[in-house]
């Protein structure tokens, strides 16, 4: 098993046109591959402006949706693992915020439906309620590569430590998080949260945001980043369209876990509610 591999995060601008967004995604993935990336990731809701009024209009069904077919084709064309950010997915009468993950042959490896819906009301900041249109998923998601086991979650999922701990206990060494923190939560919590989950679980965390679009109704923070199992920022973008890469060193992860064996020192019998 290789001890390292290169990861690419595609921070693209999301426009009102799905066609333009898909063209941006194709170009970004191509560029990431040219930089030597074997695992490439796109942002949350990359084919669709982020808003409850847009989700039903842009929603696609698996496997016939235009975006879904494009993702499969990109993975196959470039022989990469591709985490297709997320898109609005329609399944019968329900809509989900879903990530589709494809392997080098263009086969679907996994699908994650956002488990924790973003229903918030911050005084003087932002109010949003995903549950007005979206339904929640109900499972953790991971897939295996020749490099390591990779977990996938979406945005607000990262704020629930017990959810990420379940994934770590299932053996993930890298978490991919398509996410769109905003201009209220981003400056306050973006880097802090990614570093904390990486440190808690001794994993790499790669969070991929859309680029900041001041003309959008919902303005993403940007700053896509990768954090290490030691809780450090390995690489981080600014708010503009960017492709950033990170070399994921699994020997380093093993060393961190050996020197500070947090997961081995857990005492589950103490944590159980005995009332």
Superfamily classification of domain 4-271: Carbon-nitrogen hydrolase (3.60.110.10)
User: What pLDDT is recorded for position 158?
Assistant: 98
User: What pLDDT is recorded for position 2?
Assistant: 77
**How far apart are the two ends of the chain, measured CA to CA in Å?**
45
> pTM to 2 decimals?
0.97
Q: List, by residue number, the catalytic residues.
A: 44, 114, 155
Query: How many residues does this entry show for the chain?
Result: 275
Q: Which of 227, 130, 138 is nearest to 176 (CA)?
A: 227
**What is the residue extent of each domain of the chain?**
4-271
pLDDT per residue as tens, the chain (275 positions): 779 999 999 999 999 999 999 999 999 999 999 999 999 999 999 999 999 999 999 999 999 999 999 999 999 999 999 999 999 999 999 999 999 999 999 999 999 999 999 999 999 888 999 999 999 999 999 999 999 999 999 999 999 999 999 999 999 999 999 999 999 999 999 999 999 999 999 999 999 999 999 999 999 999 999 999 999 999 999 999 999 999 999 999 999 999 999 999 999 999 887 76
β-pairing, 108-113 vs 94-102, is antiparallel
């Amino acid at each position: 098993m290789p001890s390292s591999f290169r990861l690419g995060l595609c921070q693209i601008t999301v426009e009102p046109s799905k066609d333009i967004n898909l063209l941006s995604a194709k170009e970004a993935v191509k560029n990431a591959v040219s930089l030597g990336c074997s695992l490439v990731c796109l942002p949350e809701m990359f084919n669709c402006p982020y808003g409850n009024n847009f989700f039903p209009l842009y929603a696609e069904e698996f496997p016939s949706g235009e975006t879904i077919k494009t993702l499969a084709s990109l993975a196959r064309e470039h022989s990469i693992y591709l985490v297709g950010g997320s898109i609005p997915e329609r399944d019968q009468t329900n809509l989900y915020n879903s990530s589709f993950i494809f392997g080098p042959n263009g086969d679907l490896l996994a699908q994650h439906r956002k488990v924790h819906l973003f229903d918030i009301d911050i005084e003087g900041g932002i109010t949003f309620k995903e549950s007005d249109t979206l339904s929640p998923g109900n499972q953790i998601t991971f897939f295996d590569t020749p490099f390591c086991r990779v977990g996938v979650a979406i945005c607000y999922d990262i704020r629930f430590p017990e959810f990420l701990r379940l994934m770590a206990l299932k053996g993930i060494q890298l978490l991919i998080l398509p996410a769109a923190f905003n201009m209220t939560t981003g400056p306050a919590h973006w880097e802090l949260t990614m570093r904390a989950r990486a440190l808690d679980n001794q994993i790499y965390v790669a969070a991929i945001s859309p680029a900041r679009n001041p003309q959008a109704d919902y303005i993403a923070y940007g700053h896509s980043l990768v954090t290490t199992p030691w809780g450090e920022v390995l690489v981080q973008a600014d708010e503009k369209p960017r492709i950033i890469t990170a070399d994921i060193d699994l020997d380093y992860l093993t060393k961190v876990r050996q020197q500070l064996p947090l997961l081995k020192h857990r005492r589950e019998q103490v944590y159980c509610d005995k009332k």
